[in-house]
Amino acid sequence: MTIQEYHNRIDFLCDKWQTGYFPPEEKDMALDMASAALFESKQRTYGTDTASIEALAPFMKTEWVVPAADGQVNTTLPVERLVAASVRVMSGDNPYPVAVPVLTADELPDRLRSQVTPVTIQSPVLIQETSGGYRLYTGPSGSSSAGPVQVWYLRYPTKPHFNYTIGTDDYTFNPVGSTAPEWNQTEADQVIIRAIGRLGINLDNRMLSEVGLSDLITKE
């Protein structure tokens, strides 16, 4: 669903039950809050609930990274949208994804010296640096590398942005520079319903049944 379709859907439902108009910026803000709220709701049961796994499938990303001789990996994970607690890794020596604990920079030296829970390529740690970036540690300096590591992580949905030019009496949609959340259709409808609530319109089952969306109340 494109951002224009999100906005058109909101306009259709709002026009059906009230007069007035919401500018694109307000709809973008409402969609962003609604999308983040739905994501966090699904994330709480991710891994234990099939519906949540399917819903968040568009946001599960994977990439290969190569540890350096000092046991560090400069990741390219999107910091501002990354769910750090979701990071999993798999190396050639460990073919099953394992959870990666998130440590502070102050905790790292003790963990690197630990003989009880050593940092290895099979058991790495993730550090959020003061610069804001995430760095994956697969071992202390001088540790040998077992080759590339596959990293999985969840990231938040893309912030919606409706790019437009202003005409004589309307907004003209410009797809260049526009972005939309990447939800599947069912979850996109839930985001729209949540966004309309953020805009101050309370929808009930009767209203939603008129447009075939009454089941979304129970899914919320």
User: What pLDDT does 95 receive?
Assistant: 64
Q: How many CB atoms lie within 10 A of CB 74?
A: 12
Answer yes or no: are the C-beta atoms of 134 and 104 closer than 8 Å.
no
91 belongs to a structural domain: yes
Q: How many CB atoms lie within 10 A of CB 82?
A: 19
60 belongs to a structural domain: no
Q: Give the total number of structural domains in the chain.
A: 2
219-80-148-105 Cα dihedral, nearest 10 degrees: -120
pTM for the full predicted model: 0.77
Both 167 and 211 in a single domain?
Answer: yes
Both 71 and 139 in a single domain?
Answer: yes
7 belongs to a structural domain: yes
As a whole-number percent, the residues of the chain with pLDDT over 70 amount to 78
152 belongs to a structural domain: no
Both 72 and 38 in a single domain?
Answer: no
For 42, the domain range is 3-53+158-219
Give start and end residues of each alpha helix (H) in the chain: 3-17, 24-43, 50-55, 108-113, 185-198, 205-209, 216-219
Give the tens place of pLDDT for each residue, 115-164: 888 888 778 888 877 766 678 888 776 555 556 778 888 888 999 999 99
